Amino acid sequence: MAGHTHTGLTPFLVSPASGHGTPTSSYAGSCSYAGDHKAAAAAEAGDAGAAFVLESKGTWWHAGFHLTTAMVGPTVLTLPYALRGMGWGVGLTALTAVAAVTFYTYYLMSRVLDHCEAAGRRHIRFRELAADVLGSGWIFYLVVTVQTLINAGITIGSILIAGNCLQIMYTSLTPDGPLKLYHFIMIVAVVLALFSQMPSFHSLRYINLGSLLLCFGYTILVSGACIRAGMSSNAPVKDYSLSPSMSGKTFDAFMSISILATVFGNGILPEIQATLAPPAAGKMVKALTMCYAVAFFTFYLSAISGYWAFGNAVQSNALQSLMPDEGPSLAPTWLLGLSVVLVLLQLLAIALVYSQVAYEIMEKRAGSRRRC
């Protein structure tokens, strides 16, 4: 703006949801100074969530680790079941179409955040972006409610499935042991409570790098086991036909679409972009490219290998297909056990990532009370 003199201070946007100031992107000096200035200014304004949980110190590859953990999870093992409902041609076309649509959607959201930052309004929370774009009326609260429900659902689901993974390993080693599922859920909850002491989203970067490697690991293991099972002498008959009834085809198609929509979901992109050291413009596109490169490899490998091996007899989870109710296991015990361990470890990382929004809100409220 003509006639405007930059002082090195950061202007603030007041969120309609909270009434607290939120730092924006008009930073002076180096990126490291800007990040420290942002944290100090946010803390001074009483926004402890921005100062600590969403501190902006990361690089684009750190954001790529976060995005990959938020998107590429054990749901990848359900993709063969998605192909079952639509067949080879339509299924792979739908998988590609959903990937393209979601990538473009996240790209547009990232560009909107970059545009707001260039205009002096850096948004670090989904609710702030919603308020800027949609206003502070009922639709703002609808967006906040939907994001909260998604994050809470994924976190709770990750804890439950992780507890189930522990139970599977326990019962395989001690079939008559006294521990029940709720014991393992409590164990997972305690572990997550300990990890919740990590100070910020940015501090999860190496955990999320490990999560990226874990998804490669169990995808390759399970896909290799499916190929081995499909080539073995006791392989199931490969039948790729769809349901003979129209109602069955319709139900299977909608089931497949729901699986595809779920596996590409990500409800915390603005919070992930907030971890980038300023200026953040353009960095998120690189992070998205990394995330979708990982997704392309794992999603297609799992979907094609699982559906090829079992056809329309594939179970809702590729691991279940390898462990039929009748007859011997179609994969070595060590491979199945290792896959379950890798899934369990990644579920912990996923629960940590999707808990960050709740931690940010609690930190912000706690900081506000301390100021009072």
Name the residue with higher pLDDT: 53 or 80.
80
Query: What's the pLDDT at 53?
Result: 56
Judge whether 8 lies within some domain. no
In angstroms, how far is the first alpha carbon of the chain from the final one?
36
What pLDDT is stored for residue 36 in this prediction?
45
- Tell me if 49 is assigned to some domain: no
**pLDDT, position 369:** 53
In a domain, 263, yes or no: yes
Alpha-carbon distance of 301 to 304, in angstroms, equals 6
- pLDDT (average), residues 181-205: 87
**Across 152-166, 234-248, 283-297, which has the greatest mean pLDDT?**
283-297
Q: Report whether the peptide linkage leading into residue 279 is cis, meaning its omega lies within 30 degrees of zero.
A: yes
Check residue 51 and give its pLDDT. 59
pLDDT band at 212; cut points 50, 70, 90: very high
Q: Which of 276, 272, 357 is nearest to 56 (CA)?
A: 276
CATH assignment of the domain containing 122: 1.10.4160.10
Q: What is the pLDDT of residues 65-116, one digit of tens each?
A: 999 999 998 999 999 999 999 999 999 999 999 999 999 999 998 888 888 8
Judge whether 117 lies within some domain: yes
Is the model more confident about 2 or about 183? Answer: 183
pLDDT beyond 90 at 304: yes
Query: Whose CA is closest to 81, among 369, 340, 321, 371?
Result: 321
For 271, the domain range is 60-354
What does the pLDDT average to over 215-235? Answer: 90
* Dihedral sign for Cα atoms in the order 104, 110, 114, 120: positive
Indicate whether 88 belongs to any domain: yes
Strand segments, DSSP code E, in the chain are 12-14, 21-23
Q: What is the mean pLDDT of residues 296-321?
A: 92
278 phi and psi angles, rounded to 5 deg: -70, 150
Cβ within 8 Å of residue 207, ≥6 positions away? 195, 349, 352
Q: Which residue would you say has higher pLDDT here, 259 or 329?
A: 259
For residue 228, tell me if it sits in a domain: yes
Domain membership of residue 283 (yes or no) is yes
What pLDDT score was predicted for residue 219?
Answer: 95
Within-domain flag for 162: yes
Q: What pLDDT was estimated at residue 327?
A: 73
Residue with more model confidence, 276 or 124 = 276
Whole-number Å distance between alpha carbons of 361 and 369 = 12
Q: What share of the chain is helix, strand, coil (3-state, %, to 5)?
A: 70, 0, 25
Into how many domains does the chain fold?
Answer: 1
